[in-house]
Amino acid sequence: MDGSIFIQVILPLKLEWEPYYLVETPVAAGDRVKVEFAGKDYVAVVSAADVTPPEQLVDRILYVKAIVRDLPPVYAQEIAFWRSLAAYYLCTIGEVYKAALLRDRVAGELPEPSKETGREVHLSPEQERAVGEVRNAFAAGKTALLHGVTGSGKTEIYLELARETLAAGRSVLFLVPEIALSRQLEDRVAAVFPELQVYHSAKTWPRRAAVTKAVLDAPEYLVLGTRSALFLPHHNLGLIIVDEEHDNSFKQDSPAPRYHARESAIMLSVVQGAHVVLGSATPSLESLYNAETGRYAKVELKQRFHSGQEAEVMIVDTVAERRKNGMAGCLSLKLLEQLSRTLDAGGQAALLRSRRSYAPAVQCTECGTIPKCPHCNVSLSLHIHPERLICHYCGHTEPYTGVCDHCGGALQPLGAGTQKIEEELQAIYPKARIARLDSDASQSEARTIRQFAKGEIDILVGTQVVTKGFDFAGLSLVAVIQADNILGQQDFRADEHAIQLLEQFRGRSGRRGTPGLFVIQTREPHHPVFARLGEHADNTAQLLEERRLFGYPPYTRLIHLTVKDTNEKRLNYLSRELVQSLPLACIGPYTPVVDKIADQFIRQIRIMLPRDKFLQERKRQLQRAVSDFEKNHKYPGHVIVDVDPV
């Protein structure tokens, strides 16, 4: 072994240790190497060079197969960020590296990142004041929470802060929750910064790799992207912008790391020495709590940029309307009257239905059977063009005959999804240009949004994507169909999420000084969430007090353990055994509303930890307990740990 040195590496695997290897060629931390592990070859990152392994391992350590030259080294700051994520979200650094690997391909060339000078940013006095307050927050070493009403011009503030950061020779990361939002913002940001780079999963592999290369090569850069852009090889970051910070799309569900981009951005800022601004018209209670306790500095924008008023709210009681024949299918005559007025005036309308499909379920008119997915404990949804029944959880599909398999009776659609609403609108307004925005729509999401923004579509029907932070100049009427489904969540955050979604959707209308109208069709017109919208009330203090009384976040830290197994009897036994083995108080195991997905039965365990100086140690105890349980019961891969679930 003369001239050879021992190194430790990070493999893209769920490993609780960093394996040792031998290398004959000098390498440094961050270099990439090809190694064999458990009979397979992997590209690993050197985490430490010239180390001394435990004596009992020396004879079993393998040599590195090759030094990888076509991938760039990993910055020390990146590895530090990965370690922070792994520690916080109770996963391994290998799982974080695996997520980061998605950016790595042999890079193509970017078209000639334009040499044109972008337009200037012009701010109103209100925006100038807000920028000054954000600067003060940064000077005090605090994250800035920009709480601006919809249409207040938060984007212009982001652009001014980005301009100042780039002028100082530092880089900028601009995060948005959805690809659709990224696409609409791209033109606005590129008009100011022609060198803009855009990164998200809808980009081709060569394009993403080219952005990675551009980030590596540029002394400073501006990247607009979704949460995956956090894993680019960042350096010299001076500013991280998290727009729509409340949005649940910032949370990674699967696989590990199950991170939230908002919290992860703050971890990245610590490693990079960067400032962070979080923006939203409806901030999360966690962020409002952090502002209340002094961790964040709150900056408010209370005026709309174009001096428009918030949309008026009209609540339609669908139960009462049906009694007096005031409904046409799933649309109330009151809503149709407002739609007609909007179209006659040359305006646009957007309708929200939280369920895609033609109907969420079908039922036999004779025996009452509701067809269910054979792999999940949920009903199958009816889709048309072509007609088929689809499971929205596992994707199972079967042909739709309209005949019950049990008794031969006729199947009847229950409720209405986006497809049926679109069909009803086409029948009522045959001359209107109507489009649908959901994952089943035939044309691309980007094209539909672009056409609606240009006024080429009169009525847009969609799922929750239509509520996001788009800027549609001609949109004057927004409406929610079957709004009760938004409330029907078995979760302590249900009211918060419903308020955020509805307030965001309300803010899409009347953004250019023209009055907007927000119509809510509901069977529960007196629900507190709808009452708040109608009264323009801010019940943040009430929601926080309820959370405090019941010991929910943000006053505690919540961790969910999800146990999955194809054998329900074994699952029941082992999930109870897991609870007994945990060193912390917990609730469960309990059966969730949807207790079987893709042939796997599900049980959940809830753990709430106090926010004190022992929090991280308790999390480590939990991680060790779960790991020991999986080893002792030979039950690997069955327990999912989710820190800060949404």
pLDDT tens digits for range 131-165: 999 999 999 999 999 999 888 899 999 999 999 99
In this prediction, residue 536 carries a pLDDT of 64
CB 236 within 8 A of CB 220: yes
List the end-to-end C-alpha distance of the chain, in Å, as a whole number.
52
Tell me the two tokens of residue 76: 């020390």
Tens-digit pLDDT profile for residues 440-459: 776 778 889 889 999 999 99
HEC per residue, 93-121: HHHHHHHHHCCCCCCCCCCCCCCCCCCCC
Q: Which two tokens stand for residue 105?
A: 């391909």
Mean pLDDT of 167-177: 97
Q: What is the mean pLDDT of residues 164-179?
A: 96
Determine the Cα–Cα distance for residues 54 and 18; give it in Å rounded to an integer: 13
Helical axes 285-292 vs 540-550, angle rounded to 10°: 90
Strand pairing category for 517-522 and 475-480? parallel
606 vs 590: CA distance, rounded Å: 9
Q: What pLDDT sits at residue 310? A: 78
pLDDT the model gives residue 1:
52
What pLDDT is attached to residue 107? 47
Average pLDDT, the chain: 92
pLDDT at 296 over 50: yes
Compute φ and ψ for 229, nearest 5 degrees: -65, -15
Beta strands 327-328 and 331-332 are: antiparallel
Q: What is the pLDDT of residue 72?
A: 87
Pairing of strands 222-225, 475-480: unpaired
Strands 475-480 and 361-364, how do they pair?
Answer: unpaired
- Return d(Cα 389, Cα 404) in angstroms, integer: 13
The pLDDT-based confidence of 128 (bands split at 50, 70, 90) is very high
Domains in the chain, please, with CATH? Answer: 1-74 (no CATH), 125-301 (3.40.50.300), 312-358+416-542 (3.40.50.300), 556-643 (3.30.70.600)
Q: Quote the CA–CA distance of 31 and 47 in Å, as a whole number.
A: 8
What is the average per-residue pLDDT within 607-617? 94
Neighbours of 590 (CB within 10 A): 11
pLDDT at 489 over 50: yes
pLDDT for 70: 87
**Mean pLDDT value of segment 17-27:** 95
Which pair of tokens denotes residue 150?
């919809």
Helix (H, G, I), strand (E, B) or coil at 517: strand
Tokens of 477: 């009427």
pLDDT digits (tens, 9 = 90+) for 543-590: 899 999 999 999 999 999 999 999 999 999 999 999 999 999 999 999
Burial of 314 per CB tally in 10 Å (0-12, 13-18, 19+): middle
The two structure tokens encoding residue 111: 């078209």
Helices assigned H by DSSP within 90-226: 93-101, 125-139, 154-167, 179-192, 205-217
Across 520-524, average pLDDT:
95
What's the pLDDT band for 101 if we cut at 50, 70, 90?
confident
* Distance (Å, whole) CA 165 – CA 172: 7
Res 331 pLDDT > 80: yes
Higher pLDDT, 503 or 532: 503
Which tens digit of pLDDT belongs to each residue from 264-294? 999 999 999 999 999 999 999 999 999 999 9
Positive/negative CA dihedral, 532, 248, 183, 154: positive
Of all residues in the chain, what percent carry a pLDDT higher than 90?
78
Band (311; pLDDT cuts 50, 70, 90): confident
Report the pLDDT value the prediction gives residue 513, as an integer from 0 to 100.
65
Output Rg (C-alpha) for the chain, integer angstroms.
27
pLDDT digits (tens, 9 = 90+) for 186-203: 988 999 999 999 999 888
Cis ω for the linkage preceding 528 (within 30 of 0): no
Tell me, what's the pLDDT at 109?
53
The long-range contacts involving 579-586, CB below 8 angstroms and separated by at least 24 positions, are 579/605, 581/625, 581/628, 581/629, 582/607, 582/622, 582/625, 583/621, 583/622, 583/625, 584/609, 584/618, 584/621, 584/622, 586/561
**Which whole number is the average pLDDT over 72-101?**
96
Average pLDDT over residues 513-523: 89
Predicted pLDDT of residue 262: 98
Per-residue pLDDT at 588 = 95
Q: How far is C-alpha 550 from the geometric centre of its chain's CA atoms?
A: 26
Asked if the peptide bond before residue 257 counts as cis, ω within 30 degrees of 0, the response is yes
Number of C-beta neighbours around residue 515 at 10 A: 12
* Euclidean distance between CA atoms 550 and 545, whole angstroms: 9
